[in-house]
Amino acid sequence: MAQIYGIDLASEKFDVSYLDEKGKKKHKVVKNERPAIEKFLSTLPEDAWIVAEHTGAYGDLLLFLADMHGIRISYVNGYEIKHSSGLTKGKSDKADSAMIRDYGERHIDKLDLTHFPSETMYRLRQAYTARRLLVKQRKELETTLHVDARSPLENDKLASVKNQVLAELNAAIKEVEDEMERLIQSDQELARSAAIARSVPGIGMVTSTEIIIKTGNFKRVSTAKKCASLAGIAPFPNATGKTDKGNHVAAMGDKQLKSLLFMCAMSSVTYSDRMRVYKMKKMDVERKHFFLVMNNIANKLLKTLYALIKKGEMFNSDYLPRDPRLKTAGIN
């Protein structure tokens, strides 16, 4: 039986909850710094299994060192931990670490090991995060310039400064994108996945990179259905008793990925005859809602992408799918 250590992560420190050899609840606080983490990991028994809430960059150092020392560690979505723990009153870091430990003990058979990504993947993730921050700043500055252009009193000096900063942001974004491309091309597997993804009409450099990062290069999130669920575009049934409201997408999901997939769906309608015909059929003939159709197209793009990744093939616009009636009839 594994010894579960529940950890509530924060930027400066993390709280640890565990049971001693007599089954008594114990708690300790560890600084989120390399020497302190190294010391903490050296005290763990061989059967230790760390369970922590996934909090982004705050847990990177712990994950890196645990991987280095061969200690099992699992990062779990905070929403899943919270809603599997029933009604809770009050909140503290100590209580949260105990709740995470309790989750790990009850769901140990469902825990997936988390590993630190390769150096190239980690640096790619850093570059992508930097690009997203710069793009956000550029958007805010462009909005300000758009408002200033309609101001009754203009300040030429301020306008000059803002335009200079805008030019610097554009140059910085281009530099980061070049670094992202360099990192992708330096790794054979990443370069292969990126080339296949970008061959699909509607999927460009930004979306292909985000999908590669979020799915662990299609290994951690191994199916199109799981990726759709991650992005919040997978339809789920909404029925109880005599009430059936049909299938709906959940409000939860990675909103950044969902937004990018929606834009890819919009783009694919422009560049893919097949998707354009599908959109016309659903909207003009069947009178389906626009956002429902775009959601369906985004799911189709993911299914196509995962199928191509599995086969190791580029997208072929002339490809004709096999008639499903042949499979039903048992014809190979």
pLDDT of residue 329: 61
Residue at 330 is within a domain: no
Looking at the structure, tell me whether residues 127 and 80 fall in a common domain.
Answer: no
Last residue of a domain, one of 68, 83, 110: 110
pLDDT of residue 21: 83
Residue at 322 is within a domain: no
**3-state SS string over 238-294?**
EEECCEEEEEEECCCCCHHHHHHHHHHHHHHHHHCHHHHHHHHHHHHHCCCCHHHHH
Looking at the structure, tell me whether residues 35 and 94 fall in a common domain.
Answer: yes
Apex 171 CA angle, 165 and 172, nearest 5: 85
Residue 89: CATH number of its domain = 3.30.420.10
d(CA 95, CA 118): 33
- Position 244 pLDDT exceeds 60: no
Nearest residue to 272 via CA among 234, 240, 231, 316: 316
d(CA 240, CA 328): 32
Residue at 159 is within a domain: yes
- Position 183 pLDDT exceeds 90: yes
Residue at 316 is within a domain: no
Contacts of 162 (CB under 8 A, 6+ apart): 141, 144, 145, 148
Looking at the structure, tell me whether residues 136 and 67 fall in a common domain.
Answer: no
Token pair of 205, please? Answer: 């450099």
Last residue of a domain, one of 77, 110, 143: 110
- Position 135 pLDDT exceeds 90: yes
Quick check: 205 and 181 in contact, CB under 8 A? yes
Q: Report residue 5's pLDDT band, with 50, 70 and 90 as the boundaries.
A: very high
Instruction: State mean pLDDT over 280-306.
Output: 92
Instruction: Say what the pTM is.
Output: 0.81
Q: Which class for 278: exposed (0-12), middle (13-18), buried (19 or more C-beta within 10 A)? A: middle
d(CA 327, CA 69): 49
Instruction: State mean pLDDT over 49-71.
Output: 90
Looking at the structure, tell me whether residues 128 and 198 fall in a common domain.
Answer: yes
Looking at the structure, tell me whether residues 210 and 142 fall in a common domain.
Answer: yes
Tell me the three state secondary structure of residue 23: coil
Residue at 301 is within a domain: yes
Looking at the structure, tell me whether residues 151 and 91 fall in a common domain.
Answer: no
Tally of domains within the chain: 3
Residue at 327 is within a domain: no
Tell me the three state secondary structure of residue 319: coil
In this predicted model, what pLDDT tens digit does every residue of 61-111 receive, in sequence order?
999 999 999 999 999 887 778 777 665 655 788 888 999 999 999 999 888
Q: Which residues pair with 17 in a beta bridge?
A: 6, 27
Contacts of 211 (CB under 8 A, 6+ apart): 197, 203, 218, 227, 257, 305
DSSP assignment of 195-241, as one string?
Answer: HHHHHSTT--HHHHHHHHHHTTTTTSS-SHHHHHHHHT--EEEEEET
Residue at 323 is within a domain: no
Domain containing 294 equals 224-311
Looking at the structure, tell me whether residues 94 and 145 fall in a common domain.
Answer: no
pLDDT of residue 22: 83
Instruction: State mean pLDDT over 24-30.
Output: 92
d(CA 111, CA 132): 31
In this predicted model, what pLDDT tens digit does every residue of 278-291 receive, in sequence order?
899 999 888 999 99
